[in-house]
Structure 1
């Protein structure tokens, strides 16, 4: 599928609106303008060589120009895509970044649904898009990034965990599986991902939780899917990572 249209004839800030069915996406591609994808509903994954970003409903991601990445709708997704020429993106992040969208920015994003790209730059539509740009540059980071290691021993582990997230195996178990000591695996994991194995597992659980919360699954069923013995232990993990409980996160 293709999301981008011919951007060369569009104004300095342009916006497109798309609906993507679950599990549809785009393989490795890049674009020549800085991009912001705002997710009105559903959960979107952006994958780079360094890892996977999850964008929850009513949040956004900034993607710098020329970055090779993949796009995958984890559920049915409605999104708005904002494109910024170089002169309009100077204050936006220069690396992929999921950001929190406050109520004012949410209202501005929704208002942009009425804009067509034949608008006049000095019109109220142009001012609205420039205000969105300014608000994006001030937005706080929402850390839903799951880094990917490169070491073959670690990728053997993480690929299995991505397929079977309920596995509770520790590095002692994985050391026997990949023929390496737990100490070596711990050291290499931290070196390649900048987080510990335990933190990586928690981030994976957060991404899976975001997807299933968006689908309307219950807290109990998500906790069971992830292998937690109780929903309270699962809620504690989520609150520790995200600062709010799963139900509060969904409500927000």
Structure 2
């Protein structure tokens, strides 16, 4: 499906899989709306998507990734994925043919973007679609892929359950994160015992129910903070009785308080 417009040809929509080059880049992708969504789709080429401003969530391979500023997500070729952007979104994207870079990950992942990687993506986004292969432009793209392959992995990933009962719980939590329902109440709502729900969660996600919910809260918090929502409001939206308790949870999970964490992302 065509999803992007080549920057030098306004209003011309291009399917990256149709361009006969190993790497196809786009840049300055901007959405001024408060949010937009792309339904489940896939490409033959793999996809690097850098978030420069705003926040992106991407669901694929029974996992949910939150991509804040100064991060990028890797989507291997042929992987069905759905995308949702929040806030004023700006980003850069590279589509990579399956045989172009065997050094790239074989599974979906998010990475922290170094200044060099960011500048390489920005520079590559201004290349012509049909750049000359074997020259300086090809070498630049090779460096870009090497830099991405060596980038540090990010932590903002949540395993998503395949079981329909757990998936319903997950959807309800994401829709109303401030509803701090306990495990025993969720168990009653799904017609299960507490022990059965706990075991099912561990089997489906590899995490305890409490740890899984806390990771979800952190990811939702990062997305909201990237939209520019105040820390006090985010804490309230997630059902925390006080800002300090929210900050403590955030710092324990990501290693920095929310304000410091987002300041580093925005500065990058």
TM-score, normalised to structure 2's length?
Answer: 0.87
Matches within 5 A, 1:78-117: 78-117=90-129
Aligned to 1:134: 146
Change (3 A) 1:249 1:2: farther
Residue 43 (1) aligns with residue 55 (2): yes
State the Cα RMSD in Å: 1.8
Q: Distance in 1 between matches of 2:68 and 2:181?
A: 28
Contact 1:26/1:72, CA 8 A, preserved across alignment: yes
Contact 1:228/1:234, CA 8 A, preserved across alignment: yes
Aligned to 2:172: 160
Contact 1:75/1:211, CA 8 A, preserved across alignment: no
CA-to-aligned-CA distance 1:69-116 (integer Å, 9 cap, x gap): 112212231221111122222111111101111122122223234322
Equivalent of 2:30 in 19, 37, 44 = 19
Equivalent of 2:246 in 234, 241, 244 = 234
Contact 1:34/1:89, CA 8 A, preserved across alignment: no
Shift of 1:36: 0.6
Equivalent of 2:156 in 122, 144, 147 = 144
- List alignment gaps of at least 5 residues for structure 2: 5-13
- Number of aligned pairs? 252
Q: Distance in 1 between matches of 2:54 and 2:88?
A: 6
Aligned to 1:3: 3
Q: Distance in 1 between matches of 2:245 and 2:90?
A: 32
Contact 2:94/2:121, CA 8 A, preserved across alignment: no
Q: Distance in 2 between matches of 1:231 and 1:189?
A: 28
Contact 2:55/2:87, CA 8 A, preserved across alignment: yes
Q: Which moved more, 1:91-100 or 1:204-213?
A: 204-213
Contact 2:61/2:79, CA 8 A, preserved across alignment: no
- List alignment gaps of at least 5 residues for structure 1: none
Contact 2:47/2:77, CA 8 A, preserved across alignment: yes
Aligned to 1:61: 73
Matches within 5 A, 1:164-175: 164-175=176-187
Q: Distance in 1 between matches of 2:131 and 2:137?
A: 7
Q: Distance in 2 between matches of 1:152 and 1:87?
A: 36
